[in-house]
Amino acid sequence: MERLRLIGIAAALPLIGACGVTARLEPYKQTDAVISEGEHVVVLARKQHSTHEAEEEFVQCISDGLSDGKRGLAVHSSKDFEDKMYPWFEPSTAPLSTDDLTVLLARPGVAEQVRETGVRYVVWVDGSTDRVASGGGITCAAGVGGAGCMGLAWWEDDSRYDLTVWDVKDIENEGTIYADYKGRSVMPAIVIPIPLITRPQNHACRGLTDQLRQFLTTPEGYTTPGSSPAPAATADVG
Amino acid sequence: MSLLPLDRSRLRLLAVAAAVSLGGCGGSEVIVEATFPRPLVEQLPVSMGVVIPDELYNFIYTEDIPDQSLWTIALGDANVAMLGPLFDGMFRQTKDVDSLALAAADTSLDGVIEPKLEKFEFDVPQGERDKFVEVWLQYEITVYEPDGATVIEWPVSGYGKSELLRDPEDAVQRAAVVAMREAGATIATKFSEQPQIKEWLGGIGNAAPITGPQAAVDGNATAESSSAPLE
């Protein structure tokens, strides 16, 4: 039994090493505008798609991350912003382009209401986390002498998100940040299943939040090469 | 505007309690509750009587889904919470009226509006691939002249989806609120675009604003909103 366990552990080690997260971040900033004192950011999910929608908790994670810490920015609550701007930021009415935004802000009372919220930057979150692959299997058995499982299960999640930043004061598209985080989780079972789970969505939230903070606070939108993350950076972060 | 007369409120609570008790026999119960904002639109310069029928106050949808459970979804409170601020924001003045007949005697009214919830559908995914609970609903908004003549019967639909996490009931509740907000957004932004409404407003000497929040972006008026029912 002991030998079997050792063989199992030896076999599982390479697979355990295979689990982790691969990240790709591509910021693209079109202007050199930066957020000023007293200006707020609001993070909103794009809800027009029928097949996917950025998860509520992911949007909240970015909002919270952006406002956290010493370098925290002034972040307006998404729900509060949608309520104050109702019915103009609902799935069917939200502006899809800065041209739409221009039309919207020309409506009586709308620009005044935006000013009242203090929001200068609207960050649209588009994308989702999906399971893209899975395989393997675990078999469990129980008898008089005890119970145990053998086998290996694995799965791969892909977190792909686009952040689009609009300046509602100057009515322009500031740029985008694209993120693709892939994470592979494995669960070897040698008598007992041992879950080794990676959560690419959590990594994507942290990566995008850091990148978004730089985007909003530095004219070029990202740190210079040599410091991380760089534009179109690909890295193993697991 | 108050939409909570005591007798109706009690009736509604009783109806919800009864439905929940029935649904309690192994079913899923959802009482949709939310606060809805007042719309940021230019008010139409009219005084409207608002008739909220009992069916809307007490709206409860039940469906026995094979291989799932008996679902009981109560939308009465949410209807009241959505329509009150919506009409308050859309019209210069609103007044609760119990019936169309009573409104005829009120000379201060330019018209009467009566919303009904005509259709409700929902879908809770069972497969691992589906992530969203979906809700589709359709209101019928009827506007009457003070004398009872119909100005328009306008079907307005709303669609909402919500990520299915651990609790399907919570996801249905969130999707229903999104669908109701969508329907409210359509009512608030498209009401004055309807040709019959334009004509009616012109007839009472209060022309609808040509530009403003309620004016169409493309100017194409339609008598029905564009959301599609669930497939």
pLDDT digits (tens, 9 = 90+) for B99-108: 888 888 888 9
Q: How far apart are CA B89 and CA B185, in angstroms?
A: 12
Quick one: average pLDDT of B213-226?
41
With CB atoms and an 8 Å threshold, state whether A113 touches B188: no
pLDDT at B201: 92
Of the candidates B77, B73, B74, the one whose C-alpha atom is nearest the C-alpha of residue B63 is: B73
Which of A224 and B217 is assigned the larger pLDDT? A224
B65 touches chain A (CB under 8 A): no
- ipTM for the predicted complex: 0.81
In eight-state DSSP terms, residue A145 is T
Q: Of the ranges A44-48, B11-15, B44-48, B220-224, which is most confident? A: B44-48
pLDDT at B217: 39
Domains with residue ranges and CATH for chain B:
6-203 (3.30.160.150)
**Confidence band of B68 (pLDDT split at 50, 70, 90):** confident
Which of B3 and A167 is assigned the larger pLDDT? A167
Of the candidates A108, A126, A189, the one whose C-alpha atom is nearest the C-alpha of residue A153 is: A189
From residue B13, give the alpha-carbon distance in Å to each of B8, B27, B59, B76, B176: 9, 19, 11, 9, 19
Over 50: is that where the pLDDT of B226 sits? no
Q: Which of A50, A84, A93 to mutate against chain B (most B CBs within 10 Å)?
A: A93
Quick check: pTM over 0.90? no
Phi, psi of B71 (to 5 degrees): -100, 135
Q: Cβ contacts (< 8 Å) between A91 and chain B: which residues? A: 159, 178, 182
Q: Chain-wide mean pLDDT for chain B? A: 82
Q: How far apart are CA A81 and CA B81, in angstroms?
A: 19
Q: How far is A161 from chain B (nearest CA, A)?
A: 17
Question: Concatenated DSSP letters for B16-32?
Answer: HHHHHHHHTTT-EEEE-
CB count, 10 Å around CB of A178?
19
Question: Concatenated DSSP letters for A208-219?
Answer: HHHHHHHHHHSS
Quick one: average pLDDT of B120-145?
89
Q: Is the CB of residue A210 less than 8 Å from the CB of residue A233?
A: no
Positions of chain A with pLDDT lower than 50, given as ranges: 226-230
A179 touches chain B (CB under 8 A): no
